[in-house]
Amino acid sequence: MTQSSIAPDTATGSPVRLQAVSAQGQPEVTPALEELYRGFEQELLVPLWTEIGDLMPAHPRSRAVPHLWRWERLRELAARAGGLVPVGRGGERRAIALANPSLGGRPFASPTLWAAIQYLMPGEDAPEHRHTQHAFRFVVEGEGVWTVVGRDPVAMKRGDFLPQAGWNWHAHHNATSRPMAWIDGLDIPFQYATETQFFEFGRDEISDAERITPERSRSERLWGHPGLRPLSSVPATPGSPLLSYKWEHTNAALNDQLLVEKEGFGGTVEPGHAAVRYSNPHDGSDVLPTIRAEFHRIVRGTETAPVRETGSSVYQVFDGSGVVTVGDRSWTVSRGDLFVVPSWAPFSAKSEAGATDSDEGALDLFRFSDTPVFEALKLNRTRKDA
């Protein structure tokens, strides 16, 4: 097949280089064709017939590959960074991003998603800033850090999911004598690729009034009541007005699904597999415009059916153990481990959780994905393999 590349041609200075080769469906290689291709190169033109197999494949071929990061190793390295790397202007956050091995060393878990472990030492403050990137925090262990979003202090505890739409001022402070780690998820790669990102520094220090540690934030007191929304609410924002989705509510919802299933009334996505989506209490949409967040509970002995989806996702094992398969890769996983599922790669999980490694006797998985982007563009597709 005719081949092209973007390596600069030393003779012409053009980044386009075309090479004619004999192949079915391609034009006959002649001096006239070679001359035509030189003209294309000079004018920075690339004919579709040389590129269609790459630009229009039969199905998605992600640049990302399946990969697993072990939580114990991440936490160990983050703790070492805690003693060496300051938090403040310049670096802003002690956040260490997952780099997919096939994305050229960029700090991207997938072409659209960022995932990182963030670590805050006792008594430390992460200064205030804001950015257009939509973000969340998810806590797999520990407590003691408060995130302050729009001057509203929000507690962070194990199992809590804390979304934060773009362009909201936010800072963090550790009110305890122990360090704490959690994961951050953002759409940094998506906004980087679309060249839409903005960033702005805020105050170097939060006020004493914001350094309090309330049990519930203002956002929870207004929006944290199931099925109820305040009539006094401000106009809809780009993301959820609820800044913390508490673990006790997530856990109860999953357990109730499995109980309803046992009673013979369904309620689960498949036998032994309960799942919930975090939603915006204002209108039931996704919590963030570019990120979908879910929680899955797979009871011991259950193996989920392989599913393919356009767009990518990142999972963190919240509890339990099991075997996950992504494409042609399989791993045994346990609490805290993170892995990426590239676009159209089949994913399945088998729970091997028991009383010794799981509070609920199940493999619990937190998942976030770029699905809202593809749904908005009408490019989403899902297929469950046999």
What is the pLDDT averaged over residues 209-238?
A: 90
Q: What angle do CA 134, 138, 139 make, to 5 degrees?
A: 155
Q: What is the DSSP string of 121-185?
A: -TT-EEEEEEESS-EEEE-SS-EEEEEEETTEEEEEETT-EEEE-TT--EEEEE-SSS-EEEEEE
Which pLDDT tens digit goes with each residue over 71-97?
A: 999 999 999 999 999 998 878 999 999
User: Would you say residue 187 has pLDDT above 80?
Assistant: yes
Q: Tokens 């046992």 label which residue?
A: 262
Instruction: Return the amino acid letter for 128.
Output: E
Which pLDDT tens digit goes with each residue over 142-164?
A: 999 999 999 999 999 999 999 99
Looking at every residue in the chain, the average pLDDT score rounds to 94
User: By the 8 A CB rule, do 137 and 171 touch?
Assistant: no
Q: State the maximum Cα–Cα separation within the chain, in Å, rounded to a whole number.
A: 78
Number of separate helices (H) and strands (E) present in the chain: 7, 23
- Phi, psi dihedral angles at 377 (to 5 degrees): -90, 0
Looking at the DSSP assignment, which residues form a beta bridge with residue 18? 4
270: exposed, middle or buried (C-beta count within 10 Å: 0-12, 13-18, 19+)? middle
Q: Who wins on pLDDT, 238 or 102?
A: 102
Which pLDDT tens digit goes with each residue over 239-268?
A: 999 999 999 999 999 999 999 999 999 999
What is the pLDDT averaged over residues 31-51?
A: 95
Looking at the DSSP assignment, which residues form a beta bridge with residue 292? 369
Which stretch of DSSP H or E encloses residue 364?
strand 362-369
User: Would you say residue 226 has pLDDT above 60?
Assistant: yes
Q: At 72, is the secondary structure helix, strand, or coil?
A: helix
Q: Who wins on pLDDT, 177 or 4?
A: 177
194: exposed, middle or buried (C-beta count within 10 Å: 0-12, 13-18, 19+)? exposed
What is the pLDDT averaged over residues 284-299?
A: 98
Q: Tokens 């729009």 label which residue?
A: 150
Which pLDDT tens digit goes with each residue over 114-142?
A: 999 999 999 999 999 999 999 999 999 99
Distance CA 125, CA 102 (A): 34
Tokens of 79: 């703790």
Band (pLDDT 50/70/90 cuts) for residue 25 is confident
| 357: number of Cβ within 10 Å | 15
Distance CA 385, CA 380 (A): 16
User: By the 8 A CB rule, do 322 and 298 touch?
Assistant: yes
Q: At 210, is the secondary structure helix, strand, or coil?
A: helix
| 127: number of Cβ within 10 Å | 18
CA torsion angle 75 80 84 90 (round to 10): -20
Distance CA 226, CA 281 (A): 8
Distance CA 316, CA 270 (A): 20
Round to the nearest angstrom and report the end-to-end CA distance of the chain. 35
Distance CA 157, CA 148 (A): 14
How confident is the model at residue 91, as a pLDDT?
Answer: 83
Measured CA to CA in angstroms, residue 268 lies from 2, 74, 286, 299 at distances of 50, 33, 20, 11
**pLDDT above 70 coverage of the chain, percent:** 97
* 341: nearest Cα among 378, 379, 308: 308
User: By the 8 A CB rule, do 201 and 129 touch?
Assistant: yes
How confident is the model at residue 1, as a pLDDT?
Answer: 42
User: Would you say residue 357 has pLDDT above 70?
Assistant: yes
User: By the 8 A CB rule, do 319 and 361 touch?
Assistant: no
